[in-house]
Amino acid sequence: MKNLYKSLIICTIIALLSASTSMVFAGNRDRSGQAGASHLLIDPWARTSGLAGAGVAEVRGLESVFTNVAGLTSVRKTELSFNRTQYLVGSNAGIALNSFGIAQHLGKNKDFGVIAVSFFSQSFGDIQITTTEQPEGGLGTFSPTLTYIGLHYAKSFNNFIKGGVSIKIINERISDSRATGFAIDAGVQYVTGKFENFKIGVTLKNIGLPMSYKGDGLSAHATLFGQDYEQTVEMRSAEFEMPSLLSIGVSYDLLFFGAEYAEFSKEDLAAEGLTRDNAEHRITFAGAFTANSYSRDIFSIGLEYGFRNIFMVRAGYGLESVGRGAKANVNETAALLFNSDSFFAGPSVGASVCIPFTKERKNKTIGPRMYLDYGYRFTNKWRGNHYMGIKISL
């Protein structure tokens, strides 16, 4: 009965994936660039950036609040993380990304899920104020900021199905105008295999109402018809949509256990309840497809090697789709292969080092530890993006 139940779940997920893929491929490319709040599409976490966003199915821990919120269920007790990104290195624009998050597992004897709060901020440095009368500046500076705060919740429904949801409050502002909105994310992960090493993930992100700008920056002094004095006239800002997207991913862990398990068969190893957390060596293959409503679709692949959860190194590659059917030509095909006209060049790399706070326990469970993360994404302009992060897991 249990195997039948699992089979039904797998068939349902595959059917949903097939239906979703059919719908997203039918999207209209003419809408590209019409959405706002584009900072919602920037991954600020070092670990997931190193895989080029391919970890939709395998992402775990606090970093999952961006890629697939269902991965929060792997938080055992408490996690805190801070990441900083040097964006567009060499552009002299002073663009920086900061992200912070804290996650807490609820319940001791029972699993009530995991709740988390995250914060994202993007700053652009100081920009000269110019007007039509003084195009050279000299009037001071202003500092645009893009931020959002996320509240996340995830829960394991059983041993192989996990789900989560996020609510994000978004704010974009300069000194005299701002826009505020909210968006919702939802994700699910399905885990199976003798060692829980095969995963399927689906996430729907940035679903929300349109945003628009308000403030003194949209007002102007004007003389109306029939009057000899000026009045303040307020102009209305056009609304813009959220950059909604759908991501579908799969992953597989190739696990190698230590010498103490050399005489064990796969069935015996599975009976011991061993997973990727107990592996001496782990190689993870990951792939994902992201259907963007207002920009090009993205295909991502990733590979990660882990040694005893102490050291991990990863690499990824992202490809942006181009014209469909008769619209595609030789130049667009070259763009697909080399991403020559996109911001990211394709490759990404990263690594993580773990510093345990305690000695390894006899039952092989993971104790409190700190992770130092680094990621780098190649770009076609400037000198790439550097991601640096620190995470404490209790």
Neighbour tally for 350: CB within 10 Å:
26
Identify which of 270, 267, 346, 281 has the alpha carbon closest to the alpha carbon of residue 310.
281
Please check the confidence at residue 325 and state whether its pLDDT lies above 70.
no
pLDDT value, residue 361: 53
For residue 3, name the pLDDT band (cuts at 50, 70, 90). low
Instruction: Considering only residues 331 and 346, tell me which one the structure prediction assigns the higher pLDDT.
Output: 346
pTM: 0.85
Please check the confidence at residue 309 and state whether its pLDDT lies above 90.
no
pLDDT value, residue 147: 94
What percent of the chain lies above the pLDDT cut of 70? 82
Please check the confidence at residue 116 and state whether its pLDDT lies above 80.
yes
Out of 38-47, 270-279, 382-391, which region has the weakest mean confidence (pLDDT)?
A: 270-279
Please check the confidence at residue 359 and state whether its pLDDT lies above 60.
yes
- The top-scoring range by mean pLDDT among 206-220, 232-246, 280-294, 328-342 is 280-294
Please check the confidence at residue 198 and state whether its pLDDT lies above 70.
yes
Distance CA 15, CA 271 (A): 31
| Averaged pLDDT for residues 84-88 | 89
9 phi and psi angles, rounded to 5 deg: -65, -45
Over residues 228-245, the pLDDT tens digits come to 677 777 777 888 899 999
Query: What domains lie within the chain, and their CATH numbers?
Result: 2-393 (2.40.160.40)
Instruction: Considering only residues 32 and 4, tell me which one the structure prediction assigns the higher pLDDT.
Output: 32
Please check the confidence at residue 84 and state whether its pLDDT lies above 60.
yes
- Bridge partners of 164, per DSSP, are 154, 187
Please check the confidence at residue 2 and state whether its pLDDT lies above 70.
no
Identify which of 203, 156, 286 has the alpha carbon closest to the alpha carbon of residue 17.
203
Please check the confidence at residue 161 and state whether its pLDDT lies above 70.
yes
pLDDT value, residue 332: 54
Distance CA 301, CA 286 (A): 6
Instruction: Considering only residues 175 and 157, tell me which one the structure prediction assigns the higher pLDDT.
Output: 157
